Chains A and B, each alone.
Chain A
Amino acid sequence: MVKLLKRRLEKKDRKKDKKFGIKGDTDHLKPFRLSEIVEDNITRLKNSMNNTFDIKSREFQIGGTKYQAAILYIADLVNEEMIMSHLLKPLILQSTAVIDSDTEVNFQSVKDSMLSIGSVQEAETFDEIVLAVMSGDTFLCIQGYAKGLIVNTRELNGKPFAVPTVEPSVKGPQEAFVETLKINLGLIRKRIRDPNLMLEEYKIGRRSKSESVLVYIKGIADPDIVEDLRKRLSSVDLDMGQSAFQIGTLVTDRPDSIFPQVQITERPDKLVVSLSEGRVAVLTDGSPNAILVPVTLPILMQSPDDYCESWLVSSLIRISRYVGLFLSSLFPAIYIAITSYNPGMLPTRLVLSIASTRTGVPFSAFIEALLMEAVLELLQEASIRLPKAVGQTVSIVGGLVIGQSAVQAGIVSPIMVIVISVTAVTSFAIPDYSLGLASRILRVPFMILATTLGSFGIAIGMLLLLTYLSSLKNFGIRYLSPITPYRFQDWKDTVIRAPFKDLKKRPEFLNPEDTERSHSRKKEKEIS
């Protein structure tokens, strides 16, 4: 009878989940209660949390008694030292002292006398247990009792984490991944208390046997993408699997592309948002970065700060980033094309002003731009390699001293210094470092096209580039999605960022299983 009731409840839940996509909620576990059998409880709890590899359990006998007990916890979130010394040790070893003192060993005595931990709560239903375990608590159950104890063993505050350096944010969280996989998984678990968060472990590297973990949310991520990535990860053949990028390159369709084919992030908050959109991540032990797939150009243009400002401000900033991307690749080429082929487009005064500044410069605009570009690239490279303090000095020496001297010596024109400086500044507006590098690489071919064929050359170059980008696919998703193919629903969070109340659906182009981010109260009433 009970089984029948449970089955009916499960069926109702599944129906509910299917309709409104609330699989991530622990509410649907409310009707499920603990049984008196320890083994059964542990198995069912593990299953309800999808039995990921970091869920640990330990069955034991309370010292000196016939009472069987078990604990369950998530290794990434707890202080295992605390579990050992304040939970397992008293229960297994020191409980004999309690027994000797003639105290009856029962649920209450375990709770009151055997655990030397601050917070201990009783729990009976699966929803509260699962939520607690996913928050870093440890669950303890004893044979013969249809209830258990939730013991506070959280340790997140004490774990070290880094500050984002490659992807800094003004208002967003200031946490970054570190080199230890366990801590990184903890940072993710801390943010997603969803029993459907899936962690699949892989050993990569024939010699290094590095631990890599495939992370996604079951019920959101497209199963085809997950399966595809699983196959690719399994087929990675490396001697030493060291960095996330190395693995990322090996699992993509087009590793030779100058455009990033995986998104590399050091930010747990970014990774968590991406998982909630239906993307899949891979973390590797020893690497402070995670890779995210699938990736598209508009995704690379998003920044965590976009979600910390009003939608209007965020949208304008995003648009400015696209302008930055365009100018970063094309500004020197446009300057060369206009001054060499179509000076008539510019106002006469401006043309005269440009011509006068170029008087005495021995090089053509193209050579001039190429020289300045080479110096700029060397300066950027030098400032990365040098220690931070010296790096700033190099920037000042390069930017101010060399630029000023070159102009005074008549090697380059002041307008070219402005053009290259603006180009450099615009490239810094691109939020993804790898995409910024791609835009820098594109500058030179466009400059060559501009100097040989003027604006026609730039147009042809743009068309070839557009064709290339349109043909690129990443895990079955077009690289320019959702700009093209048109998905108007997804445009709300692409070039602009619509108000949060309008972002109720997950991006369609990622084919999420559960499309709804939130559902209206009206709908909730309907299902209840």
Chain B
Amino acid sequence: MKEERLMPPQVMTLTACGILGIDILIVQRDMVGVAGQDAWISLILGGMTAMILGSVCYYLAHLYPEMDLPQILLHIFGDFFGRIILLPFIVYDVLYLGMSLRIFAQALKMFLLSATPMLPIVVLILLAAGYAVCKGVFAIGGIMDIIFPLCAVTILGILLMPMNQIHLSNLKPILYKNTGNVVKGILTGYQQFTGYGTIAYFYCYTQKTKGTFKWYLAGLGIPIFLYIALTLITIMVFGPTDIGYLTYPTLTLAKSIEIPGTFLERAESFAAILWINIVFVSVALLLFRTKRNFLELLHMKTKHQNYVIWGIALLLIGIALFIRSGTEAISFFSKIKKSSRIFGLLIFPFITAMGYIKKRRETRA
């Protein structure tokens, strides 16, 4: 049988699903908090930064086409230093994943399961994601291929439905005495898209063709477009001041949609169900990354991966339920997210530069 490889279009869905995640519920609040009504401009600039740095990340994966990130690290920096550099990735992924689960459970309780405790929600989503990771990269690719278009269409629906409620005046004044904040907001905007690093874990399984990079750029571009549009519409519907008071602006936007006379009058539950899928893909991808990192860190064989996956799942349950207060959890999550800038702006370009030098030396030798 021929060796199985991910198809180039799957690079698009995997990259996009790596970027979309729990943030989709709160991106507007984070952005408006920094850049006010001009948040969408910051997001555009942040998106452009992500495209450039994402290309750097792609280049790193392209340098070592048969290795994933932990293997690349060990190859470039050696067994000891490679593992040292791998550690921050593991800590970030585990904390981000744990807090994502927490925020997810909180939001779900608010909109769908008010009487259900958080534990079963976290356990069930981890169970589904863990099962997907156990089934391997090609199963994950298949799930993303189906879920991604559904999610994209749902988000587009959420964007188009409240068109009758938008007020263009909420966007004004554009860039008036706010340029400094817009510039500050570029970093906040950029951090929403740092999920592009997923390519470094999947590129080695991909069929390499000329079009793969284009698909990757499409995978980066689609979530950037959706986030910008979502922020723009939310600002136009609620205004920058009100967004600051909304816990989950995207769900509130969906809640504002009423479809009188149709079978489903309110769309927020429907949106929440599809949002479960978005969180699932994000959790599955992060869990896969964490599993790979742990396997390389502990020098374990692939046949033991299931123990690693379920071990990480137990750790994540603990992290998700550790903080009691919901507000504190959101605040901690924001801090973790901020640290993603360090990876995207410093660590990845550094690794790429070192990888380039190493590769050149290898080629010469």
A residues bordering B, Cβ < 8 Å? 224, 228, 341-342, 344-348, 350, 453-456, 458-460, 463-464, 466-471, 476, 478, 480, 483-488, 511
Tell me whether B7 and A485 are in contact (CB under 8 A). yes
Taking a contact as CB atoms closer than 8 A, the residue among B120, B145, B280 that contacts A453 in the complex is B120
In the complex, besides A453-B116, A484-B146, 5 extra interface pairs with C-beta distance below 8 angstroms are: A341-B113, A347-B263, A459-B273, A476-B1, A485-B10
> Residues of A contacting B273 with CB < 8 Å?
455-456, 458-459
A345 vs B265: C-alpha distance in the bound complex, in angstroms? 5
A456 vs B123: C-alpha distance in the bound complex, in angstroms? 13
Stretch of B29-37, B128-136, B333-341 contacting A (4+ beta carbons < 8 Å) = B128-136
Tell me whether A467 and B131 are in contact (CB under 8 A). yes
Tell me whether B146 and A456 are in contact (CB under 8 A). no
Taking a contact as CB atoms closer than 8 A, the residue among A346, A453, A488 that contacts B263 in the complex is A346
Taking a contact as CB atoms closer than 8 A, the residue among B9, B125, B138, B269 that contacts A344 in the complex is B269
> Residues of A contacting B324 with CB < 8 Å?
none
**A344 with B142: in contact, given A464-B128, A476-B1, A485-B6 (CB under 8 Å)?**
no
Tell me whether B145 and A454 are in contact (CB under 8 A). no
Tell me whether A463 and B277 are in contact (CB under 8 A). yes
> Residues of A contacting B120 with CB < 8 Å?
453
Interface of A is mostly: helix
> Residues of A contacting B266 with CB < 8 Å?
344-345
> Residues of A contacting B261 with CB < 8 Å?
347
Taking a contact as CB atoms closer than 8 A, the residue among B116, B128, B139, B280 that contacts A471 in the complex is B139
Tell me whether B280 and A463 are in contact (CB under 8 A). yes
**A483 with B145: in contact, given A456-B121, A463-B128, A471-B136 (CB under 8 Å)?**
yes
B112 within 8 Å of A by Cβ? yes
B152 within 8 Å of A by Cβ? no
Q: Give, as a whole number of angstroms, the nearest-CB distance from A389 to chain B.
A: 40
Q: Give, as a whole number of angstroms, the nearest-CB distance from B190 to chain A.
A: 29
> Residues of A contacting B127 with CB < 8 Å?
460, 464
Tell me whether A460 and B146 are in contact (CB under 8 A). no
Q: Give, as a whole number of angstroms, the nearest-CB distance from A256 to chain B.
A: 16
A483 vs B148: C-alpha distance in the bound complex, in angstroms? 13
> Residues of A contacting B135 with CB < 8 Å?
467-468, 470-471
Taking a contact as CB atoms closer than 8 A, the residue among A341, A346, A455, A478 that contacts B142 in the complex is A478
Tell me whether B7 and A455 are in contact (CB under 8 A). no
Q: Give, as a whole number of angstroms, the nearest-CB distance from B301 to chain A.
A: 21
> Residues of B contacting A467 with CB < 8 Å?
128, 131-132, 135, 139, 143
A476 vs B2: C-alpha distance in the bound complex, in angstroms? 8
Q: Which of B224-281 contact A (CB under 8 A)?
A: 260-266, 269-270, 272-273, 276-277, 280
Tell me whether B276 and A470 are in contact (CB under 8 A). no
B141 within 8 Å of A by Cβ? yes
Q: Which of B97-148 contact A (CB under 8 A)?
A: 108, 112-113, 116, 120-121, 124-125, 127-128, 131-132, 135-136, 138-143, 145-147
Tell me whether A464 and B142 are in contact (CB under 8 A). no
> Residues of A contacting B112 with CB < 8 Å?
341-342, 454-456
Contact indicator per residue, chain B 139-166, by CB within 8 Å of chain A (1) or not (0): 1111101110000000000000000000
Tell me whether A456 and B145 are in contact (CB under 8 A). no
Tell me whether B265 and A466 are in contact (CB under 8 A). no
Tell me whether A347 and B265 are in contact (CB under 8 A). yes
**A486 with B145: in contact, given A456-B276, A463-B280, A467-B139 (CB under 8 Å)?**
yes
Provide 13 A-B residue pairs closer than 8 Å at the C-beta atoms, listed in order of the A residue: A347-B260, A455-B272, A456-B276, A459-B273, A460-B128, A460-B276, A463-B132, A463-B143, A466-B143, A466-B146, A471-B138, A485-B141, A485-B142
